[in-house]
Structure 1
Amino acid sequence: MSYRLRREEVLDGDQLSAMLAESPARAAQAILIAAKAGNLDGQALLGQILLEGQGIAKDQALALRWFGIAANGGHLMARNMLGRCNEHGWGCVANASTAARHYRQAAEAGLDWGLYNYANLLATGRGVVEDQMQALACYRRAAEMGHAKSMNLLGRYLEEGRFCPVDPLAAVDWYRRAAEGGDFRGQFSYAAVLADQGQIEAALSWLRQALAGGNLKFLRVASESLSNAVHPEIRELATDYATRFVELDIEPNHL
């Protein structure tokens, strides 16, 4: 028997997210009801599941429309997702300038992911004039809000002394916090620090966690880096990284 919800039984965002983790198809119907009832979280979630084809037929153009509806209602993550769609060409022609506009709006409203994504465009000059100082400020603000990926990048700026004074101790602290926050690049960065300090077992532990969570691009670059590591125990992990890269590359969701 299919799952049914009356309009007055619309669930909130946390309930919808929990249901999505347990039963995508069942959750998709509840999310659709919530979205049509004007629930902003439901509209944003509908965009997400349409984008990914999670419990519902994949439709990136329709996902873009629902993100737009939720964003116009004030949903910041939906605004950020409009940026993602425009950056990557999901449901539309890729347009970095439009992506930057959406990211900037989300960033100015205080969304950590908006700050991070806007900083990425500022740092690379995509869709906006390159501005490393502003990028650094956005990464720092997001990092201080607890955004793990921004923590890692802030650590890199501080380690290299790019557009800020060199501060190796602060860099290590941000790498550690990024690693503990679950960012695979942060885990890799922190492992490198630990390896340089001779803490090989601790470094291996973080490298294995980065291996489990890393994406294709990261795994490819990381495997090359590990193959040149000084410590043989770490060099051995290069094969595991390369193997995981191949496994992910042939999975349907990564084609």
Structure 2
Amino acid sequence: MMVRTSSAPPSPVPVVDLWNLHRKTEAEWRVILATRPEEAVAWIRLAAGKGFKAAQLVLGQMHLDGHGVPRDPAAAHGWFAKAAAIGSAEARNMVGRCHELGWGVPVDHAQALVHYRKAAAAGLDWAHYNIGCLLLYGTGVGRNHGKAFASFTVAAGLGHAKALGMLGRCHEEGWGTLVDRAMARTLYRRAAAGGDCWGALNLGLLLFEGGQQDEAASYLQESVALATPNCLATIIDTLGRRPEPVFTTVVGEAARRADLMRAARRAQGDARPEAVPRGRTARLGQGLPGQGMPGQGMPSRPLRFALLLGAALTTAVRRRRRARHRWSSPA
């Protein structure tokens, strides 16, 4: 009698009824991720290997970040490509990000644009936003402000806060549309309300230039509270050159928050290089392309990991229930 064997994950996990695993709440997955990360990694590897695109997407992200697995951009690209090939628009967008930023593949902005357009055709807001950024700045592709404005408009219509901020930039600078600073302020407010640090920052600067210093200070402080590492780097680098007290205060807050973020990254073993700040003339742009899940603005990684793992297991449960079969743990 032949016995099938399989390789075990680094840390064995108990046998679990897949249906009961699927029924775990978001809070329970947070606990698993915090206290038993090896178990969570084993499950996501198993689901990815079985062809579940949500698991492949999150495993790619894990390799991109070095979260729970060795940091390996080439492996990340490979998993994103697998998920994209079976219909994941988010994964297709991440393949574009890999080509845009050289994550596991050579930098090729034209190829990035091809993948972004495929993801956009599937209705992904981040893909429309990324198309807009490539066409706006013309990095590696032909610059076209009119088409960039149109892409940001579509993304904003899908509820994308950063796209609202970029529409504000377009109205302020006359990129693909007429200059309209009142509209720019309105769009920046909507972007900031949606959690976009750049929208809050640009609104603060616009209000300061208009003499509304108290409200400007409030939005500048909000931009620090919302800021990504790239945004913090830009605040420190660009506003640090301004002599006005309001900017000195904001830069000091940004520096303290950046220090806390760096300490947290070191504690988590994140060895990725720091972002290099890049300022814009007249007003700050959206900064450098962010790292990570369809870039940016997605749920926190532990939460997103749980949500995607849950999605993968939901599909697995449906398939296994149809087959009247159960999985044991990936031990």
For residue 206 of structure 1, what is the aligned residue in structure 2? 219
For residue 161 of structure 2, what is the aligned residue in structure 1? 148
Offset of residue 39 of structure 1: 1.8
How has the CA–CA distance of structure 1 residues 48 and 248 changed in structure 2, closer, same or farther, with 3 Å as cutoff? same
Q: What whole-Å deviation, never above 9, does each CA across 1:194-219 have from its counterpart, x for those lacking one?
A: 43455544433332232244345433
Give 1:122's aligned amino acid. L
Offset of residue 74 of structure 1: 0.7
For residue 176 of structure 2, what is the aligned residue in structure 1? 163
**Which stretch has the larger CA shift, 69-78 or 98-107?**
98-107
Task: Find the partner of 1:93 among 98, 101, 106.
Answer: 106
For residue 178 of structure 1, what is the aligned residue in structure 2? 191
* 8 Å contact kept, 2:116–2:128: yes
Give 2:194's aligned amino acid. G
When Rg is computed on C-alpha atoms for both structures, the one with the higher figure is: 2
**Which stretch has the larger CA shift, 221-230 or 139-148?**
221-230
Q: CA separation in 1, counterparts of 2:28 and 2:157?
A: 26
Give 2:76's aligned amino acid. A
Task: Find the partner of 1:116 among 108, 112, 129.
Answer: 129
Q: CA separation in 2, counterparts of 1:208 and 1:21?
A: 35
Higher helix share: 1
* 8 Å contact kept, 1:87–1:96: yes
Q: CA separation in 2, counterparts of 1:170 and 1:17?
A: 44
How has the CA–CA distance of structure 1 residues 132 and 208 changed in structure 2, closer, same or farther, with 3 Å as cutoff? same
* 8 Å contact kept, 2:148–2:176: no
Give 1:126's aligned amino acid. T
**Which stretch has the larger CA shift, 196-205 or 65-74?**
196-205
Query: Is 1:28 aligned to residue 28 of structure 2?
Result: no
How has the CA–CA distance of structure 1 residues 210 and 4 changed in structure 2, closer, same or farther, with 3 Å as cutoff? farther
Q: CA separation in 1, counterparts of 2:107 and 2:242?
A: 38
Task: Find the partner of 1:102 among 115, 121, 127.
Answer: 115
How has the CA–CA distance of structure 1 residues 99 and 180 changed in structure 2, closer, same or farther, with 3 Å as cutoff? same
For residue 52 of structure 2, what is the aligned residue in structure 1? 39
Unmatched runs of 5 consecutive residues or more in structure 1: none
Q: CA separation in 1, counterparts of 2:135 and 2:29?
A: 35
Q: CA separation in 2, counterparts of 1:233 and 1:66?
A: 46
Query: Is 1:57 aligned to residue 75 of structure 2?
Result: no
* 8 Å contact kept, 1:7–1:33: no
Q: CA separation in 2, counterparts of 1:200 and 1:179?
A: 17
Unmatched runs of 5 consecutive residues or more in structure 2: 1-10, 274-331
SS at match of 1:173: helix
Give 1:42's aligned amino acid. A
How has the CA–CA distance of structure 1 residues 200 and 29 changed in structure 2, closer, same or farther, with 3 Å as cutoff? farther
TM-score by length of 2: 0.67
TM-score by length of 1: 0.84
How has the CA–CA distance of structure 1 residues 89 and 224 changed in structure 2, closer, same or farther, with 3 Å as cutoff? closer
Aligned identity (percent) is 35
Number of residues of Structure 1 aligned to a counterpart in Structure 2: 254
Larger RCO: Structure 1 or Structure 2 (Cα < 8 Å, ≥ 6 residues apart)? Answer: 2
Offset of residue 52 of structure 1: 0.8
For residue 77 of structure 1, what is the aligned residue in structure 2? 90
* 8 Å contact kept, 1:11–1:30: no
Superposed CA RMSD: 3.1
For residue 13 of structure 2, what is the aligned residue in structure 1? 3
**Which stretch has the larger CA shift, 52-61 or 1-10?**
1-10
Q: CA separation in 2, counterparts of 1:87 and 1:177?
A: 28
Q: CA separation in 1, counterparts of 2:31 and 2:143?
A: 39
SS at match of 2:152: helix
